Structure 1
Amino acid sequence: MAKDSCDGCGRRVTVTGGIANLWTFGDGSDGTAMTLEFTDGTEHLLCYPCIEALPDEPTDEDVERLEQVDSETSQLGVR
């Protein structure tokens, strides 16, 4: 399982898939983040709390505004 940080809030995340966890079936290693591709072609690795905080049609600006509130939630900061 690959480890990295969320592009939104910076919290440490794990991502399933790839060669690193090829043989880890059914051990509960679901990961804590996903890479999303936006309509403009950009990609962002985001933790699940940040994904939930994004609007329906997110932009790069929305990702830049994400802030970590605690270990379980994120929110969009004001500009």
Structure 2
Amino acid sequence: MRWSELLTHADSGRLSHTKLWANIASASSTGMFIYQGIHDTLTSETWLIYLGLVGGYAAALRLIAAWRSRPRPQDPPTT
């Protein structure tokens, strides 16, 4: 994987604002998570929120990708 794939659309190669801001949000929340862990201010609530948001975002992306790739009822089966 190239670093540019984190910020560009797979088909066109153009900047994807969705990918850009999602990765900025994930990076900044990871930075704060690490910062709080180093300074012993990390709480169980922060753990739950962080893991829920970062893990939930990844799970939602996979769910959407799977939903988009499933065959539609009106499409004929491929053989």
Report the TM range for the smaller structure's normalisation: under 0.3
Greater strand fraction, Structure 1 or Structure 2: 1
Normalised to the residue count of structure 2, the TM-score between the two structures is: 0.27
Greater helix fraction, Structure 1 or Structure 2: 2
Larger radius of gyration: 2
Compare relative contact order (CA 8 Å, sep 6+) and give the higher one, 1 or 2: 1
Normalised to the residue count of structure 1, the TM-score between the two structures is: 0.27
